[in-house]
Amino acid sequence: MEGFRSLPSVHRLADALDGRYRGLAVTAAREAVEAARERARRGEPVGDLEGDARRRLAAALGSGPVRALNATGVIVHTGLGRAPLAELAVEAAARAGRHYSNLELDLERGGRGSRQEHVEGLLLELTGAEAALAVNNNAAAVLLAATALAAGRQVVVSRGQLIEIGGSFRLPDVVAQSGAELVEVGTTNRTRLADYERALGPDTAAILRAHPSNFRVVGFTEDVPVEDLCRLGMPVIDDLGSGAIAEGLPELADEPAVPRSVRAGCAVVCFSGDKLLGGSQAGIMVGRAEVVDACRSHPLARAVRIDKLSLAALAATLCLYRDPELAKDEIPVLRMLSAPRAELEARAQLMRERVARAGGKAGVVEAAAKVGGGALPLLELSGPVCAVESGGDGVDELARRLRSGDPPVIGRVREGRLLLDPRTLTDEEARRAADAVVAAFR
């Protein structure tokens, strides 16, 4: 019964924890003392009581997503939160969250302003559009555009573009939800201008074009360039998915560029804020003034409004795009896309050496990663990665142990080895990932 007497009081233990969260600290301390008492009753060692209380408090305060190390090489990884933000964007979101701001206040007139003013000018400058609107995400942008333009009438879509994006975003369902009737034209692999022309009639309200973000049809294919579609004289809703606005990045050459669709005369162009743009979750709509205004004033716009943290981060990200070189250096997604081979090689070697020094078996091999997030499905970003031999318990067990670590490390398994891709890790993260591998071997 020695263990009982040496247990500290709940309040003394709580004093040793973070004083800002007193109530939760007392609860954590009480649970830790009770667990220790239970162990003492069974004649087991009481263990590190303060450490246990500290862990319980951290768990009580941290039930949101935990930080993870992305060693998959997939840059826009939906499971891991898509795009990490630029530092400027992180600071902007923290400021918007911590303090009051002029979110919807016109400081000059003292009257009510619009939250859209914080991004509108930037979006016009970067895309050449007449008007712009940011909403909650791109799925909401497409739904809003179809509803505002075509509810009760017809929307024409190519059969080659009746796509499903991850997370059950299916184009036919979105059109149905908007209250418009879907008119399919062409075939899976070929749709011509004449197919569209034949389908247009008095009930047609818009043509919807959707980027096949996460797949490609190859071989005997044909589709209609956006310029030709716009010449049909019908409003074109262009869902670009990722929507690239960065200039001079060869890796993005196959992504449809937002300015091109705007120049072609699309009624409204929709794209995500947190895919290849590298910003916060948002749906961005740019296009002709009367069309964007119709979207802005539709009742659904309020239901899909962008929140202030996302808006602040998006505005900061867009600011960086005003200088293409700055964007490439500061926006993590663009930096990872264009990371020089020498940098990747050095980081892969760093991981290999750290694992090898601790007695593990690892090498540096060439492997190809994907962009992810339903973008550029054919682009393989090949480069050096650290390949770890799994040892006796097998590679799936190694991957499981890494996933359950603190922080979790997510790699990819290939041919019985665990690959740690340096493209989606910083130097510091690569060190931690390698150390996690070493710990998992013990």
Ligand X SMILES: *Cc1c(COP(=O)(O)O)cnc(C)c1O
Least Å distance, CB 140 to ligand X, is 7
Query: Distance between CA atoms of 399 and 403, rounded to whole angstroms?
Result: 6
# binding residues, ligand X (CB under 6 A): 14
Which of 84, 160, 241, 384 contacts ligand X by CB under 6 A?
Answer: 241
The SS3 assignment for 357 reads: helix
Q: Which residues of 203-231 are buried (b: 16+ CB within 10 A; e: fewer)?
A: ebbbbbbbbbbbeeeeeeeebbebeebbe
CA distances from 134 to 151, 191, 257, 283, 306 (A): 21, 31, 18, 6, 6
Return phi, psi of residue 148, to 5°: -70, -35
Which of 120, 239, 251, 255 contacts ligand X by CB under 6 A?
Answer: 239
Q: Which residues contact 291 (CB under 8 A, 6 or more apart)?
A: 131, 145, 148, 149, 235, 267, 268
Nearer to ligand X, 74 or 433 (CB): 74
Nearer to ligand X, 57 or 144 (CB): 144
Nearer to ligand X, 123 or 139 (CB): 139
What value, to the nearest 5°, has the Cα angle with vertex 268 and ends 262 and 270? 95
Residue of this chain nearest to ligand X (CB atom): 241
Query: Distance between CA atoms of 118 and 116, rounded to whole angstroms?
Result: 5
Query: Distance between CA atoms of 231 and 216, rounded to whole angstroms?
Result: 25
Q: Token pair for residue 41?
A: 């009753």
State the alpha helices, DSSP H only, in 62-165: 87-98, 117-127, 138-150
Stretch that binds ligand X, among 21-29, 112-120, 131-139, 305-313 (CB under 6 A): 131-139
> What binding mask, one character per residue, do residues 142-181 give for ligand X by CB under 6 A, x or -?
x----------------------x---x------------
Query: Distance between CA atoms of 417 and 391, rounded to whole angstroms?
Result: 9
Q: Token pair for residue 312?
A: 């602040």
Q: Which residues contact 361 (CB under 8 A, 6 or more apart)?
A: 355, 388, 389, 391
Q: What's the Rg (C-alpha) of the chain?
A: 26
DSSP H or E segment with residue 417: strand 417-420
Stretch that binds ligand X, among 209-217, 245-253, 331-339, 344-352 (CB under 6 A): 209-217
Least Å distance, CB 214 to ligand X, is 7
224 phi-psi bin (left φ>0, alpha ψ -120 to 50, beta other): beta
Task: Decide: is 330 part of the binding site for ligand X (CB under 6 A).
Answer: no
Least Å distance, CB 212 to ligand X, is 8
Nearer to ligand X, 10 or 174 (CB): 174
Nearer to ligand X, 57 or 236 (CB): 236
3-state helix, strand, coil in the chain (%, to 5): 45, 20, 35
Least Å distance, CB 49 to ligand X, is 46
Which of 26, 129, 139, 306 contacts ligand X by CB under 6 A?
Answer: 139
Return phi, psi of residue 30, to 5°: -65, -45
Task: Decide: is 280 part of the binding site for ligand X (CB under 6 A).
Answer: no
Which of 283, 287, 405, 411 contacts ligand X by CB under 6 A?
Answer: 283
Query: Distance between CA atoms of 376 and 164, rounded to whole angstroms?
Result: 15
Torsion of CA 289, 375, 76, 117, to 10 degrees: 0
The amino acid occupying position 21 is: Y
Stretch that binds ligand X, among 48-56, 191-199, 208-216, 229-237 (CB under 6 A): 208-216
Task: Decide: is 211 part of the binding site for ligand X (CB under 6 A).
Answer: yes
> What binding mask, one character per residue, do residues 213-232 give for ligand X by CB under 6 A, x or -?
x-------------------
Q: Token pair for residue 76?
A: 């826009």
Which of 137, 178, 204, 261 contacts ligand X by CB under 6 A?
Answer: 137
Which of 72, 116, 127, 138 contacts ligand X by CB under 6 A?
Answer: 138
Task: Decide: is 261 part of the binding site for ligand X (CB under 6 A).
Answer: no
Stretch that binds ligand X, among 40-48, 68-76, 205-213, 319-327 (CB under 6 A): 205-213
Nearer to ligand X, 282 or 315 (CB): 282
Least Å distance, CB 83 to ligand X, is 11
Q: Token pair for residue 116?
A: 């859209």
Restricting to residues 287-306, name those near ligand X by CB under 6 A: none
Query: For tokens 């299916």, what's the residue?
Result: 170
Stretch that binds ligand X, among 38-46, 134-142, 200-208, 245-253 (CB under 6 A): 134-142
Restricting to residues 72-91, name those near ligand X by CB under 6 A: none
DSSP for residue 86: P
Restricting to residues 360-389, name those near ligand X by CB under 6 A: 374
Nearer to ligand X, 212 or 391 (CB): 212
Stretch that binds ligand X, among 15-23, 133-141, 189-197, 361-369 (CB under 6 A): 133-141
Contact residues toward ligand X (CB under 6 A) are 137-139, 142, 165, 169, 210-211, 213, 239, 241, 272, 283, 374
